[in-house]
Amino acid sequence: MPNSTCPVSYPASSSSSIKEYQAIQHKIAEMGSAVEAARSLTYRAASASDRGDDDAMKLASMAKQFASVRAVEVADEAVQVHGGPGYVEDNLVEKYYRDARITKIYEGTNEIQKNIIARELL
């Protein structure tokens, strides 16, 4: 995610902003938690790699697989939160969704990452 802060302050109606809705706040809470969990695992993998730990490869594959899935989920929720405008091309949110989606494919697809994780665990 380029930025974990979501600018959800435009009005849903003339009298309120969508960030005032508890359902939206819960989405933002889950999205922020997912980003932090992915970031923590990524830092853990980077730290293991820096130290040359035996489990560095396993952790790197876990981080790549976990973070890419969270990225797609969070970007998908961001599109939902923005409603119709989140889907159209002149809104950055749809670009974030496309940018997130490819991370499950390149630099080793998630299926291959899972093969590596399973091999390292079993």
122 vs 105: CA distance, rounded Å: 24
70 vs 115: CA distance, rounded Å: 19
Is 107 a residue of the active site? yes
Shortest reach from residue 78's CB to ligand FAD, in Å: 20
By C-beta, is 70 or 104 nearer to ligand FAD?
104
Catalytic residue among 20, 30, 36, 107: 107
> Token pair of 68, please?
């890419």
For ligand FAD, the binding residues (CB under 6 A) are: 102, 105-106, 109, 111-112, 115
Burial of 3 (0-12, 13-18, 19+ CB in 10 A): exposed
By C-beta, is 23 or 106 nearer to ligand FAD?
106
Just list the catalytic residues.
107
